[in-house]
Amino acid sequence: MNKFITLMQREWLQHRMGWLVLTALPLALMLGLSLFDGKGLHIQVDGDGQSLPPMSQLPVLLQTLGWTFGTAAITFVLACLSVLAQLPGLARRDMQDRSIEFWRSLPTSDVESVGATVLTHLLVLPCLAVGAALLGAQVVALVAVATTQGPLAWLQQPWWLVLPVIAAVFARLVLGFTLAVLWLSPMLLLTMAASAWLKRWAVPVVVAASIAGVQLVDRYLPVPMVKPALARMGNEALNALLSPRALEGLHFEGPARLAQALPGLPGWLLADAGRVLGHVVSPAFVLALAGGALGFALMVWRRRRSD
């Protein structure tokens, strides 16, 4: 375990500058917006297009949560895009820069090296970035509130309510993101494996194979399999992140009603987490894990065969 943690620390040391910049950019953006005290910022609260008043006119509690979750959402999207952009290069990094000879001289296995890379970049660093954004967003909220109501208004808000809501949302996001990565592991890890074997041709080959499977293979099968499988993985990943039933039963007509409903938010999120976890008890999830395991095994095999 100590060796594995050391390998994960290596990933952080090698990529920390990029992740620090990625985390700082949304904070800087939202901090700039907060200086305008949110006069032009509105939050939509339901599917009918209704919106709350401008941010600066909301209760301090809602302003804090609005700035917090807005910053975290931007950071999360950027983190996901960063992960997708880095995956092909990570699969062949050590072989490309010849550092694999050094890492092989250490008492670590290829399974540990590949596992640390996959776990750190697919799960740990994105979750840490969002966690840092949630903390840093409190500075954004402080600035936004202080410009209109003074810093004491931010300090005197009901933190006994704010902190559990933020913690519950973060926990639900970590769970949903983990499940989404597991559902998508066949596409993610097989793409990394293809990159390890085919180098720059990996992404075009994966895209071409997916298109061929949908347009050609499904035509000759008694029952289409490729397109439904891709659609199932995508839908389950989205549901794990943004379950449409997450806030089922939460109704409000204005800021006051919304603030009154916040104490029940952790309970709703907990119930939604149970529903999402129920989806993993299925043969489809087992097949998704098997596809991810195949991609992982191919990456380990390629690493062992590298000269």
What is the pTM assigned to this prediction? 0.87
Q: How confident is the model at residue 142 (pLDDT cuts 50, 70, 90)?
A: very high
Calculate mean pLDDT across residues 43-51.
Answer: 49
Q: How confident is the model at residue 222 (pLDDT cuts 50, 70, 90)?
A: confident
Q: What is the pLDDT of residues 60-115, one digit of tens each?
A: 888 899 899 999 999 999 999 999 988 888 878 777 767 777 777 777 788 888 89
pLDDT at residue 48 in the model: 46
Q: What rounded mean pLDDT belongs to the chain?
A: 85
> Above 70 in pLDDT, residue 52?
no
pLDDT at residue 253 in the model: 57
Query: How far is residue 124 CA from its own chain's centroid?
Result: 10
Q: What is the DSSP string of 126-145?
A: HHHHHHHHHHHHHHHHHHHH
Spatial neighbors of 125 by CB under 8 A, at least 6 apart, are 11, 12, 15, 19, 79, 83
Calculate mean pLDDT across residues 251-265.
Answer: 70
pLDDT at residue 77 in the model: 95
Q: What percent of the chain has pLDDT over 90?
A: 40
Calculate mean pLDDT across residues 115-134.
Answer: 94
Q: How confident is the model at residue 49 (pLDDT cuts 50, 70, 90)?
A: very low
Q: How many CA atoms lie within 13 A of 214 on its CB side?
A: 10
Query: Averaging pLDDT over each range in 1-10, 23-32, 41-50, 198-207, which range is the top one?
Result: 23-32
Whether the CB-CB separation of 191 and 292 falls below 8 Å is answered with no
Tokens coding 249 = 């039963």
Q: How confident is the model at residue 237 (pLDDT cuts 50, 70, 90)?
A: very high
Q: What is the pLDDT of residues 162-214, one digit of tens each?
A: 999 999 999 999 999 999 999 999 999 999 999 888 888 888 888 898 888 88
Calculate mean pLDDT across residues 101-130.
Answer: 87
Q: What is the DSSP string of 143-201?
A: HHHHHHH-HHHHHTS-HHHHHHHHHHHHHHHHHHHHHHHHHTHHHHHHHHHHHHHHGGG
Q: How confident is the model at residue 39 (pLDDT cuts 50, 70, 90)?
A: low
Q: What percent of the chain has pLDDT over 70?
A: 87
| In the chain, where the domains are located | 2-305
DSSP state of 51: B
> Above 50 in pLDDT, residue 137?
yes
**More confident call, 18 vs 53:** 18
CB atoms closer than 10 angstroms to residue 47: 6
> Above 80 in pLDDT, residue 251?
no
